[in-house]
């Protein structure tokens, strides 16, 4: 199967060509700079930017793969969840391609694609499920934070998710309070490397709660009050590094503890992680340490596949079609609120 995939659910315009589990090309055009000025993603601007970028991105994915449209056997796109105006661009474009080429189209759930992205590895990137194990999967980004039990390929159940802010949002909003540019996650990661994570104490919300839900808004508020009560702290670069390290430690401890707790509670011995925040070095280190201590296998998505991309959409679409999933009708609407079951 040679499949062209589109991803436009948020602020990344992406297209990829996948052939029998191998990623032949993956083109991503990020809109981060455009939205930075506003301190967050502006849906209307995201949609316009997708419209501008989609065709060049698709062209570059096809060129890099050395694939002509007449060689395509299927096309896929993120159908949900995501920003409605943004989803419309990629999903409707993919349905139009399927119509014109008379090939099947399949609409993919964005979160479900994240679930399987840690199994795409190597150089070139290939989906390898030969050592697949039932796992607890942490999906952690600017828009979502959830734990999912993946019992077998294409079979999963959501265990819990955030009841307020996502972990990435917590990085971005606390960073903004420190005066860092949007998105602050990568900058906090960088500054925290030279900071003392024990310098300041912040809450670890729900860390001992027996459930699998997360909550990060209390941590954000606590950082806000801390900065309000210690305004001169932001004049000292080392104190900012310490603050970054302390906030990062609080977020990472919660993510790691709850992932391990969910794996133990569900009797699985493998943890996987994906989504933009999985680029965070402290999170990668601490998950590795905790899984090592428990004797669990850890599969982290490759950094290039952590942030939103069409390659993971293509891999899941190909596996679904290979497992005889029904193609999605070409007039089917986007599903902005498509929750993973």
Interface residues with ligand KG4 (CB under 6 A)? 10, 141-143, 168, 171-172, 183, 185-186, 189, 275-277, 279-280, 307-308
Q: Which two tokens stand for residue 326?
A: 């029904």
Angstrom CA distances, 253 to 208, 259, 284, 306, stand at 11, 10, 11, 20
CB of 321 to ligand KG4, least distance (A): 25
> ∠292-297-301 over CA atoms, to 5°?
110
279 binds, among ligand KG4, Zn ion, none (CB under 5 to 8 A by kind): ligand KG4
Q: Which is nearer to ligand KG4, 62 or 138 (CB)?
A: 138
Residues 307-336 that bind Zn ion (CB under 5 A): 308
112 binds, among Zn ion, ligand KG4, none (CB under 5 to 8 A by kind): none
Burial environment of residue 292 by CB neighbours within 10 A (0 to 12, 13 to 18, 19 or more): exposed
Separation of first and last alpha carbons in the chain: 28
Note whether 12 binds Zn ion by CB under 5 A.
no
CB of 125 to ligand KG4, least distance (A): 17
Chain-centroid distance of CA 28 in Å reads: 14
CB of 169 to Zn ion, least distance (A): 13
Nearest to 170 by CA among 249, 114, 239, 281: 249
Residues 158-187 that bind Zn ion (CB under 5 A): none
Q: Which is nearer to ligand KG4, 192 or 270 (CB)?
A: 192
Which residues, in sequence order, are CB contacts of 162 under 8 Å at separation 6+?
144, 145, 146, 213, 214, 215, 216
195 binds, among Zn ion, ligand KG4, none (CB under 5 to 8 A by kind): none
185 binds, among ligand KG4, Zn ion, none (CB under 5 to 8 A by kind): ligand KG4
Q: For residues 13 and 30, give the distance between their C-alpha atoms in angstroms, rounded to a whole number.
A: 6
Nearest to 106 by CA among 6, 226, 37: 6
CB of 188 to ligand KG4, least distance (A): 6
Q: For residues 220 and 57, give the distance between their C-alpha atoms in angstroms, rounded to a whole number.
A: 36
186 binds, among Zn ion, ligand KG4, none (CB under 5 to 8 A by kind): ligand KG4
Angstrom CA distances, 87 to 3, 98, 110, stand at 19, 17, 10
Residues 193-212 that bind Zn ion (CB under 5 A): none
CB of 172 to ligand KG4, least distance (A): 5
CB of 279 to Zn ion, least distance (A): 12
107 binds, among Zn ion, ligand KG4, none (CB under 5 to 8 A by kind): none
Q: For residues 90 and 334, give the distance between their C-alpha atoms in angstroms, rounded to a whole number.
A: 10
Q: Which is nearer to ligand KG4, 143 or 205 (CB)?
A: 143
Q: Which is nearer to Zn ion, 21 or 143 (CB)?
A: 143
CB of 111 to Zn ion, least distance (A): 7
Residues 123-142 that bind Zn ion (CB under 5 A): 141
Q: For residues 12 and 47, give the distance between their C-alpha atoms in angstroms, rounded to a whole number.
A: 10
Residues 271-310 that bind Zn ion (CB under 5 A): 308
Q: Which two tokens stand for residue 337?
A: 């609120």
Which residues are at the interface with Zn ion (CB under 5 A)? 141, 308
């Amino acid at each position: 199967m040679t499949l062209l995939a589109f991803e436009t659910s948020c602020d990344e315009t992406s297209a990829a060509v996948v052939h029998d589990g191998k990623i032949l090309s993956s083109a991503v055009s990020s809109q981060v700079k455009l939205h930075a000025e506003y301190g967050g993603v502006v849906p209307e601007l995201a949609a316009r930017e997708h419209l501008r970028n989609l065709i060049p991105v698709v062209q570059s994915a096809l060129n890099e793969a050395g694939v002509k449209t007449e060689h395509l056997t299927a096309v896929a796109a993120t159908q949900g969840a995501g920003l409605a105006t943004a989803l419309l661009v990629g999903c409707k474009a993919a349905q139009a391609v399927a119509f014109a080429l008379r090939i099947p189209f399949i609409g993919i759930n964005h979160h479900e694609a994240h679930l399987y992205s840690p199994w795409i590895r190597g150089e070139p990137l290939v989906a390898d499920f030969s050592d697949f194990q039932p796992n607890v999967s942490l999906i952690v980004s600017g828009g979502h934070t959830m734990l999912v039990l993946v019992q077998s390929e294409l079979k999963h159940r959501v265990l819990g998710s955030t009841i307020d802010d996502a972990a990435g949002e917590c990085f971005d909003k606390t960073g903004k309070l420190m005066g860092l540019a949007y998105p602050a996650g990568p900058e906090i990661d960088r500054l925290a490397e030279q900071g003392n994570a024990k310098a300041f104490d912040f809450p670890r919300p729900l860390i001992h709660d027996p459930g699998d839900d997360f909550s990060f808004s209390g941590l954000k508020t606590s950082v806000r009050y801390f900065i309000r009560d210690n305004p001169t702290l932001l004049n000292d670069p080392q104190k900012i590094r310490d603050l970054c390290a302390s906030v990062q430690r609080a977020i990472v401890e919660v993510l790691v503890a709850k992932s391990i707790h969910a794996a133990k509670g569900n009797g699985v011995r493998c943890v996987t992680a994906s989504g933009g925040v999985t680029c965070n070095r402290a999170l990668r280190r601490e998950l590795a340490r905790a899984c090592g201590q428990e004797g669990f296998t850890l599969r982290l998505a490759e950094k290039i596949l952590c942030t939103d991309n069409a390659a993971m959409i293509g891999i899941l679409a190909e596996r679904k079609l290979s497992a005889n999933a029904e193609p999605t009708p070409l007039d089917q609407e986007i599903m902005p609120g498509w929750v993973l079951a």
